[in-house]
Structure 1
Amino acid sequence: MTHSTLAYTDAGSGPVLVFLHGFCESKDLWTDFTKPLQHQFRVIALDLPGHGENPPTDDYSMENQARQVRETLRQLQVDKCLLVGHSMGGYVSLALAEEFPELLFGLCLFHSSALPDTEEKKEARNKTADFVQKHGVDKFMDSFVAPLFAESNRQSCQAAIEKMQAIGKATPPETIIGCLQAMRDRADRTEELKTTVAPVFFLAGKEDPAVPLEATLQQCHLPENSMTYFLGHVGHMGMWERTALTRQALLKFAETLSPANAQPQ
């Protein structure tokens, strides 16, 4: 099956960092966050299928999304990268790591997890899909975004919340419903964490409602080589809630990776 290229931005030079956004987001999520990284790295940010500039697809499974990411990176002549996945982007990154391990010299689960949905979470996904079908995308996004930020940050992050709502409202309902079902049904990838040779970086918000602290503690020791950075007073959106600190933590991880695995393209 051939895949068309996903929409992307590509700037800077050096070892490649690839950024994947989460559910109801787009590559625009990363614009300001990644600019300072372009001095040392080639930074690529992709729109996942049905998000941003990409049309809806008929298969939102993490595996299919991972294949489309791989195909796009192949067309961009990327042989090795540090893959950074936010939330659902982390689920896609793990599927990619499983199928194309040779591509990664590092993996960052950015407020994300290898654990499958709990029964409670699956039920919540079903309810959300029903809500979107009945009430539409706009009404869903009005209530969905703000709780992703720690309560203490919502006022200072108001511009980011509004930007996220606008990106989310531009996401087609079939994409939202398709992704909810795909996240609900995704595989447990903790085994992938145990077997990956790529170093893994867990970036976790201590007040994350989507990926609770306990979930990160349950898996951060599984890879052979891993680092974990816990951000205080941060929910699910460290790139906006604590921008400089989050960027610095990611940069330090990227700089620890073996130069042999991170040759400039």
Structure 2
Amino acid sequence: MASLLPTILFLHGFAESREVWTDFTRPFPAGYRLLTPNLLGHGTNRAPVPDFSMEAQARYVVSYLDQKGCPGPVLVVGHSMGGYVALALAERYPDRVAGLALINSTAYADTDEKRQNREKNIGFVERHGLEKFMDSFVRPLFAPANRDRLPEALSLLEDIGKATPEATIAGALRGMAARPDRTAVLREAEFPVLLVAGKHDVAVPLADSVAQAALAPTGAALFLEGSGHQAYLEQPEATRRAVLALAEAALAH
């Protein structure tokens, strides 16, 4: 049976799971249906994954929406890799997207340097193990001022990351490295778009977010002084307000 409530779909990032959205989504109004799937290979979604491309993840998300009785357009909120999946979904299935929120994400393809760094990370995990990788990977994602201020948030991401299969880590890193430029999705969007960026984001340069903010015909941007790559954890109130404003615009009908 199709859902009668306007629906917001939250897509988590690399080496994360649906659990990262629990605190962020708790204050959302009851008038929305909130969906938080585990992407392929992440969280409890442990079936064998032959294809970790962003396109394969998008196909999975569409099948998930079908299973949940959501044949119509939904607001898609994607963090980091979840944003890459959201863009692939919007490119291939634009009729399923009522609005798009990219949190610490980008429509640009990886640079050569970024692709090389992803391969280096795969090599590090193979040599030293996932636990050691996550111990060094998570902390720099937060703005310097938040690294000691938010110990529970850091621990949450480290624990989820350490429980993620190594095959998922390697597959997701290579899937992200292979994705194409999708700035055309923003330029041609017939739905409202929100970009949320952190000044101290080491993964998505602020200049990239500034450049992309003007691409969508109907767009808004939130630039957070006190945030790194984890805006929904570092500045949850401001990020939540921006997402809810987008939801009102995208799902008003």
Question: Paired residue for 2:59, among 67, 90, 94?
Answer: 67
- Cα contact 2:97–2:191 (8 A) shared by 1: yes
Counterpart AA for 1:173: E
Unpaired segments ≥5 residues, structure 1: 1-11, 261-265
Q: Please say which of residues 245-254 and 197-206 is displaced more in the overlay.
A: 245-254
| Corresponding residue to 1:29 among 16, 20, 29 | 20
Which whole-Å CA distance do the structure 2 matches of 1:38 and 1:24 have between them?
28
Structure 1 residue matching 2:220: 3-state secondary structure: strand
Mapped pair 1:17 → 2:14 = no
What's the secondary structure of 2:84's corresponding residue? helix
- Structure-2 residue corresponding to 1:173: 166
- 1:215-236 Cα deviation digits (max 9, x unpaired): 1012111111110011111001
Is the Cα–Cα contact under 8 Å of residues 75 and 250 in structure 2 kept in the other structure? no
How do residues 99-248 of structure 1 correspond to structure 2 at under 5 angstroms? 99-248=92-241
- Taking structure 2 as the reference length, what is the TM-score of the superposition? 0.95
Distance 1:238 1:192 in 2: 23
Residues 40, 188 of structure 1: alpha-carbon distance in 2 compared, 3 angstrom cutoff: same
2:107 is paired with a residue whose SS is: coil
1:153-190 superposed Cα distances (whole Å, 9 cap, x missing partner): 11111111011100000000000000111111111101
**Partner Cα separation in structure 1 for residue 173 and residue 12 of structure 2:** 15
Name the residue aligned to 2:68: 76
- Of 60-69 and 214-223, deviating more is 214-223
What residue number does 2:33 align with? Answer: 42
- Shift in Å at residue 256 of structure 1? 2.3
AA in 1 matched with 2:79? H
DSSP-derived class of the 2:25 partner? helix
- Let me know the Cα RMSD of the aligned residues: 1.3
SS at match of 2:26: helix
Distance between the aligned counterparts of 1:33 and 1:131, measured in 2? 32
Supply the distance in 1 between the matched residues of 2:137 and 2:116 (Cα, whole angstroms): 16
Shift of 1:258: 5.3
- Amino acid corresponding to residue 23 of structure 2 in structure 1: D
Aligned-pair CA distance for 1:40: 2.8
- CA distance in 2 between partners of 1:120 and 1:93 (Å): 24
Deviations 1:75-130 (A, max 9, x none): 11111200000000000000000111001110000110000001111110110011
2:52 and 2:191 map into 1 onto residues whose CA distance is 25
User: How far apart, CA to CA, are the structure 1 residues paired with 2:7 and 2:158?
Assistant: 29
**Contact 1:15/1:81 (<8 A) preserved:** yes
In 2, the alpha carbon distance for the partners of 1:242 and 1:54 equals 28
Q: Which letter maps to 1:118?
A: T
Amino acid at match of 2:6: P
The residue identity in structure 1 corresponding to 2:150 is C
Q: Which amino acid aligns with 1:30?
A: W
Aligned length: 249
Whole-Å Cα distance in 2 between the matches of residues 13 and 36 of structure 1?
20
Summarize the Cα distance change of 1:58–1:258 in structure 2 as closer, same or farther, 3 Å threshold. closer
Q: Secondary structure at the match of 2:101?
A: strand
Letter in 1 for 2:57: Q
> By how many angstroms is 1:38 displaced?
4.2
Please report the TM-score for the alignment, with normalisation by the length of structure 1. 0.91
Point out where structure 2 has 5 or more consecutive residues left out of the alignment.
Answer: none
